[in-house]
Structure 1
Amino acid sequence: MSAYFIIQINVTNPENYKDYIPQVTPLVKKFGGEYIVRGGKSENVEGNWPYERTVVLKFPSFDMAKKWHDSEEYKPIRKIRE
């Protein structure tokens, strides 16, 4: 069964984020993931929404999503966006 990883963020350092994207994309694919929602214009039409960016990743399973997130390869990349 597919699993979805939903990321909601505010980009506070655009330069770091530019470095993060080309490194994380191939790693997501390596673990069988694909981008369902990524970037583009968004507009909040109801209620308060504190995030400027939402990303949705689809993995073949919950196990693969966790393996990607917890992988040794992702740890240094994750630090770039923190």
Structure 2
Amino acid sequence: MSYYSILAVTPTSEDWIPDYIGPANTLVAKYGGEYLARTSAHEQIEGKTQDAALRIIIQWPSKQAALDFMSDPEYVPHLKARTAGSESYHFLVEAKDDLA
């Protein structure tokens, strides 16, 4: 079953970004992930305003793949740098319809 990482990221410092992109790209691919969106071109059309500079959507082949990516020893220092240098929210969503 596929899962989606849905992230809202607002950098508070840009120092971490150049060292983050390459390793993150490589490790997302290693775990079978695919970026569906990484963009500042987004707008909120419903609900209480929750600003974010970037919205990121990654499709994973499984929940375990997403969790393995997050805990990969090569990724952990980059995750720490991202969370220290940004306001980040990450949701893991199962690709299913509970209301069908």
Which bin holds the TM-score, normalised by the shorter protein? 0.7 to 0.9
**Which protein has the larger Cα radius of gyration, Structure 1 or Structure 2?**
2
| Equivalent pairs, count | 82
User: Greater strand share, 1 or 2?
Assistant: 2
TM-score by length of 2: 0.72
Structure 2: segments with no counterpart, 5+ residues:
85-100
TM-score by length of 1: 0.85
Percent identity over paired residues: 33
Q: Are 1:41 and 2:41 counterparts? A: yes
More helix by share: 1
- Where do 5+ consecutive residues of structure 1 fail to align? none
Q: How does 1:1-20 map to 2 (within 5 A)?
A: 1-20=1-20
Over the residues paired in the alignment, what is the CA RMSD in angstroms?
1.5
Residues 6-57 of structure 1, C-alpha deviations (whole Å, 9 max, x = no match):
1111111123122211121101000110101112422334441222211111
Q: Is the 8 A contact 2:40 2:55 kept in 1?
A: no
